[in-house]
Chain A
């Protein structure tokens, strides 16, 4: 007697036989250039799980990296912050040294460019202790040939005059001091008038008649009439002009950076010192803004 298999058995057998033949087909068939069909099927079937696995692994790794693995981050952050501060300090020191080197190079270049005019480079070693006076102290004195009323400049322009001389140091009265000043004139019109300090960062130009034409931004240079500065050394630029009676009220922006002096030049004589003419002085607006920008050009021979 032959046993008749159950229907479930038959279905299982059917499924198994069909699957075996499908695989047999897959092993034989090559699909285009993608290899055997079974490989294409296998890759197609596995790739969703692989992608899902990669996505899940990436998520788990992201959670781990961004949440659980942050235990040492605080310490690392603190160490990096300290290191960052140290690096910032180092950078600041290097920048200061680079700036000083630039200044010294500018002074040297200026001196070499004016070899015929005896001058002496000096380092600013102190500034006035009070707010009532605007003076600086330089490291050159009698032993270096410095005397009273010698002009002091930078490659940017006039700074002031020597008012006291000691053995190894001297005191310089800045143009911006209430007692400071220099004989000056408008560069374009050659209108003369003394420029003096007010105790403020800016200066005033006096005794310019109301009818004289003065443009904001116009450059002002020394006139040489004060017997301290030679002619045509930049003093500043016109910052503001108001009509008055009988003279204009002219506010002047100093050409030299008087609040940031570190190295200056002491003029040992009244010999002329040639400053290149600033082309921008023809343009009042830009001339006012770029008055200090004339310095680099002044350094060039």
Chain B
């Protein structure tokens, strides 16, 4: 099996990366478990959204909108399930489905390997993810939710930094071409 594919977008050649078998599943599960367990010991780490970072990473890498949105759906629903009875199934699922789709779509058109590009994308996706959550809360659940605050900006920056570093580590899970 080929390890990479090439998408032709004008004159730019963009690789479609493959990962070792089970890598996506293990990484996603680990992100969910860590997301659920880390804040127990270090409350400030709740600012991180590891499932979102994993969704963005695999979306950008796989560059297939269908698989990207399905991965986002699966991770989001799992996060909903682990978030307790106060979070309805579909809350994170909807947001991460959209993020997975957009990340895959953008990844299919742009080179997202550069750390600066990754930082910007993670920052933007985090804000968009939060905006979708607010929309769902306001429109579908009729619950009050602020649109934007300083905490969101800090969280977006922190996640962008952590994600940029984490993506370098996740790059090691790719099969060599």
Contact = CB atoms under 8 A, between A and B. Distances in A.
Interface of A: 1-2, 4-5, 7, 9-10, 13-14, 17-18, 21-22, 24-26, 28-29, 31, 37
Contacts of B93: 21, 24
Contacts of B89: 21, 24-25, 28
Chain B residues touching A, majority SS: helix
A100 B91 CA distance: 90
19 contacts: A1-B2, A1-B5, A2-B5, A2-B64, A7-B65, A10-B69, A10-B101, A10-B104, A13-B66, A13-B70, A14-B65, A17-B70, A18-B97, A18-B98, A21-B89, A25-B89, A29-B140, A29-B141, A37-B141
Please classify how large the interface on chain B is, using the bins under 10, 10 to 19, 20 to 34, 35 or more. Answer: 20 to 34
Chain A residues touching B, majority SS: helix
A133 to B, nearest CB: 98
Contact of B64 (A1, A4, A14, A18): A4
B70 A22 contact: no
B90 interface: yes
Interface of B: 2, 5, 7, 64-66, 69-70, 73, 77, 88-91, 93-94, 97-98, 101, 104-105, 136, 140-142
A5 B141 contact: no
B65 A22 contact: no
The 9 residue pairs across chains A and B that have the minimum distance between CB atoms: A10-B65, A21-B90, A25-B90, A24-B90, A28-B88, A5-B66, A21-B93, A21-B94, A10-B66
Nearest to A12: B66
From A5, A17, A21, residue with most partner B Cβ within 10 Å: A21
A29 B69 contact: no
Given A18-B98, A21-B77, 5 more contacts: A17-B97, A21-B90, A24-B90, A25-B140, A31-B142
B73 A25 contact: no
From B5, B66, B98, B101, residue with most partner A Cβ within 10 Å: B66
Contacts of A18: 94, 97-98
Contacts of A9: 66
Contact of B140 (A1, A5, A10, A26): A26
B163 to A, nearest CB: 23
Given A1-B2, A10-B101, A13-B69, A22 B64 contact: no
B105 to A, nearest CB: 8
B69 A14 contact: yes
